């Protein structure tokens, strides 16, 4: 038997997952492929997925409705519990999530399950492309899993609201990371949200500096160095945000890999921050406290 339980090791490689799927009681597989724009992830799932995987939609199942809380706010706990049970997620049973390879949706799914109190959840490193590249089997059969019995208990991972994010960004013994692309942070371009710029005091660390385009992370010591360069050192409190809380969830995953399991996610992120025109906006390369 390949042990997959417990909160450690947030990533799993394809060879270990393949071995675990041969167990009598394999981990629950969730396919969370997603795009910000373009064809829905379910189309990818129907075209081919890991055997036994169940599709779960990021927008409608793992997040709440978009609005003043942001484009991907926290889900209603009861609605999340219903969606996860429908996908076969069981209490204390291992879950593995995967996406189309960039690691974004899988990281947000990982974060959401951990926030919901489910401790044994991992991200397939490299996602569906890594599985296919390894020559492992795929399926086109849609799954109808036996309903699970997970109990959603919010609070498993720390969360920031707008006020807490502002406080964190202003503290000398803390750092709030803005992991969007540098032009968005500087206020030079904003392709999605109505206002450009960043939370005053936030430090820019674009996602490409700690994860590759294929969703693969460098070694833990490399991650530690890259986060340290952005001010994540010693016991400094750390939080992260992006445009809507998806890329920043991947930052929290990377921080966990670097040993910072206390990292907080500003779930509403920039899309929530700018929903209130009274909130200040900084521009330029510096944090601008």
Beta carbons of 98 and 85 less than 8 angstroms apart: no
Cα dihedral sign, 269-107-67-41: positive
SS3 at position 124: strand
63 among known catalytic residues = no
Cα dihedral sign, 136-137-140-146: negative
SS3 at position 191: coil
First-to-last C-alpha distance (Å) of the chain = 53
Phi-psi region of 20 (alpha: psi -120 to 50; beta: other; left: phi over 0): alpha
Place of tokens 């959401």: 112
Two tokens, residue 44 = 């990818």
Tell me which of 12, 17, 199, 242 is the catalytic residue: 242
The DSSP result for 32-60, as a single string, is: ----SSSS-HHHHHHH-B-TT-EE--III
| Alpha carbon distance 94, 90 (integer Å) | 8
Q: Catalytic residue numbers?
A: 242
């Amino acid at each position: 038997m390949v042990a997959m339980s417990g909160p450690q090791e947030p990533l799993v490689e394809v060879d270990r997952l393949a071995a675990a799927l041969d167990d009598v009681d394999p981990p629950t597989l969730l396919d969370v492929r997603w795009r910000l724009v373009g064809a829905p992830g379910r189309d990818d799932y129907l075209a081919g997925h890991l055997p036994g995987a169940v599709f779960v939609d990021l927008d409608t199942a793992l997040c709440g409705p978009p609005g003043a809380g942001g484009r991907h706010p926290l889900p209603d706990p009861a609605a999340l519990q219903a969606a996860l049970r429908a996908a076969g997620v069981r209490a204390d049973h291992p879950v593995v999530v995967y996406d189309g390879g960039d690691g974004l949706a899988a990281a947000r799914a990982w974060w959401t399950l951990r926030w919901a109190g489910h401790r044994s959840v991992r991200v397939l490193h490299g996602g569906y492309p890594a599985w296919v590249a390894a020559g492992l089997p795929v399926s086109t059969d849609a799954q109808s899993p036996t309903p699970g019995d997970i109990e959603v208990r919010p609070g498993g991972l720390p969360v920031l609201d707008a006020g807490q994010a502002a406080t964190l960004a202003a503290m000398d013994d803390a750092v709030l990371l803005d992991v969007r692309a540098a032009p968005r942070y500087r206020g030079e371009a904003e392709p999605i949200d109505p206002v450009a710029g960043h939370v005053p005091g936030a430090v820019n660390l674009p996602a490409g500096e700690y994860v590759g385009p294929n969703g693969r992370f460098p070694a833990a010591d490399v991650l530690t160095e890259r986060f340290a360069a952005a001010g994540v050192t010693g016991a400094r409190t750390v939080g992260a945000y992006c445009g809507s809380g998806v890329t920043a969830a991947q930052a929290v995953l990377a921080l966990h890999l670097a040993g910072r399991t206390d990292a907080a996610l500003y779930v509403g992120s920039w899309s929530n921050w700018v929903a209130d025109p009274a909130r200040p906006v900084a521009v330029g390369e510096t944090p601008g406290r």
